[in-house]
Amino acid sequence: MHPIICLGLLLILILGLPLLGLLLSGHSIPNHLTLLPIPTKAGIESFSWLVCGLLTALVSLTLIPVIYLFFQKPDFTEPKSSQTADFPWWGWIAFFWTVGAWILAWTRFSWFEPWQPHTFPLLWFGYILLLNALTYQRSRQCLFLDRPRFLGQLFLLSAGFWWAFEYLNQYVNNWHYVNLPESNHLEYSWYISIAFSTVLPAVVSTYDWLATFPKLTQPFASRYSLPWITSQETGWMLLTLGTLGLGLIGIWPTLLFPLL
């Protein structure tokens, strides 16, 4: 199946399942529901020791074997000099860009006040390019030079990816934004889409850089794989779990929000 078709079907499930769950259960649809939400009001504060305990146990069970393997002190070798390169000139531009963006973001210059709310993407654009430069320095490869089209697609995908989270947040009210600048909804949706577009490129660029350190990769390279993780049955199980979670999240938002 073509990736675009898969992405379209996924989007239909994400947008439609919470609504379908509410309709089938007889619950009312939230009055504030919209496709491009920018929440500014806090939800109802709640805390469950049961949910907290289950999440803590799940995270611990996931991390313990990883930490155990990491500290087994396996033999590893750093990249040879032939595999490394000088720090690229565009990396220095990214470095000074990031430092400048950081200063502008965390100080309060009166002359910069109108642009203060828009410094978030400036920081992350610099971070993404800087991580690509560091990756290139260690491995002579990076997304920016070797897969620019893929990197560009990540920016587009990331914006939609995070808007989907904002849409689902309307059912659970887990977070909201404060001190937003005065602007019409369409204009601010454009600004915030630029900020959302940096999420996936930053994550993938960070992963690529960390993967250049043998200490972080070789402890797990020689371990036995778990074939069931990539089996078709596991895929259907995870799809079913995700479908149920999205369908029921509007009915039990406090209990099921971790599935979001």
CA–CA dist 210, 180 (Å, integer): 34
For tokens 């430069």, the residue is 133
The SS3 assignment for 245 reads helix
Using alpha carbons only, what angle is made at residue 220 by residues 155 and 198, rounded to the nearest 5 degrees?
10
Q: What is the DSSP string of 112-165?
A: GGGGGGGHHHHHHHHHHHHHHHHHHHHHS--HHHH-HHHHHHHHHHHHHHHHHH
Say if residues 77 and 214 touch (Cβ distance below 8 Å): yes
Average pLDDT for 217-230:
75
- For 102-158, the pLDDT digits (tens) are 999 998 888 888 888 889 999 999 999 999 999 999 999 999 999 999 999 999 999
**Max alpha carbon distance in the chain (Å)?**
66
- For 169-211, the pLDDT digits (tens) are 888 888 888 877 777 778 888 889 999 999 999 999 999 999 9
